[in-house]
Amino acid sequence: MPEVKTALLFIVTAFAEIVGCYLPYLWLREGKSIWLLFPAALSLAMFAWLLSIHPTAAGRVYAAYGGVYVFVAIFWLWAVDGVRPTTWDILGSCVALVGMAIIMFAPRNA
């Protein structure tokens, strides 16, 4: 069950980062309210905090998190941007998830 908890924590972390970056994008590129920068800053602060609560070495967490980020970003492409992912998008995000699983869940000697 720790694997499921780790994966869910990575997914929440990725959403916090994407929201924290997407809101300034809306302000800069779409002409939305500058007030979006406040929830963006909170979301990015939550992102940093979430990365810090993973129970393993920071470098390993950052490396593995990248794989989950790719997967969540492709989901965001479809769900928020309304762009249907290509087969290559899906394949690439699955490869990234396999990389995350190898990094996080491979057996280790203490």
Instruction: Kindly state whether residue 54 falls inside one of the protein's structural domains.
Output: yes
Instruction: Kindly state whether residue 22 falls inside one of the protein's structural domains.
Output: yes
Residues 16-60: tens digit of each pLDDT: 999 999 999 999 999 999 999 999 999 999 999 998 888 777 788
Instruction: Kindly state whether residue 74 falls inside one of the protein's structural domains.
Output: yes
Instruction: Kindly state whether residue 25 falls inside one of the protein's structural domains.
Output: yes
Residues 59-87: tens digit of each pLDDT: 888 888 899 999 999 999 999 999 999 99
Q: What span, in angstroms and rounded, lies between the C-alpha atoms of 54 and 22?
A: 24
Instruction: Kindly state whether residue 110 falls inside one of the protein's structural domains.
Output: no
Instruction: Kindly state whether residue 65 falls inside one of the protein's structural domains.
Output: yes
How many domains does one find in the chain? Answer: 1
Q: What span, in angstroms and rounded, lies between the C-alpha atoms of 6 and 102?
A: 13
Q: What span, in angstroms and rounded, lies between the C-alpha atoms of 108 and 74?
A: 30
